[in-house]
Amino acid sequence: MSVAGTVRVVRKPLTSRFAAKAPITLTPAAVSRLHSLMGGSKDKYEGIRLDVKSRGCGGNSFTLDYAEKKERTDEVVEADGVKVFVGSKALLHVIGTEMDYVEDDLQSGFVFNNPQAKSTCGCGESFTL
């Protein structure tokens, strides 16, 4: 399973950008969805890996995948028993980001509210820093 999420450009004051100790924060909706994705897979997978790939018209895109184990260079963010392993390539891209899960009548998916993003493509999947 590899999932892409939507990225939103957000503006936060500098003081609040770096106040959080974790590189990324998870909303309760994101934690709930990650719990259901892990479901019966907790014996097989230790958590979810968040990484970044070069793709799309914006240049960068976040990806989510199941992680069997923590890699040596991963940063671990844990919320309510869910572990998200932030890959070393993604670490500088996610600092200050809030990961949310949004559902409406037409679509559902993870949304990354990223204060570092300068712009996003029309669909919101890729971004530039």
In a domain, residue 124? The reply is no
Over pLDDT 90: what percentage of the chain? Answer: 20
Check whether 29 has a pLDDT greater than 90.
Answer: yes
Give the other-Cβ count within 10 Å of 25's Cβ. 17
In the predicted model, what is the mean pLDDT of residues 75-98?
86
State pLDDT tens for residues 108-129: 888 888 776 655 555 555 545 5
Dihedral pair phi/psi, residue 56, rounded to 5° = 80, 175
Over pLDDT 70: what percentage of the chain? Answer: 67
| Residue 94: per-residue pLDDT | 80
| Residue 128: per-residue pLDDT | 54
In a domain, residue 3? The reply is no
Per the structure, the count of domains in the chain is: 1
Check whether 75 has a pLDDT greater than 80.
Answer: yes
In a domain, residue 79? The reply is yes
User: Which range of residues forms the domain containing residue 58?
Assistant: 24-116
Task: Provide the residue type at 4 as one letter.
Answer: A
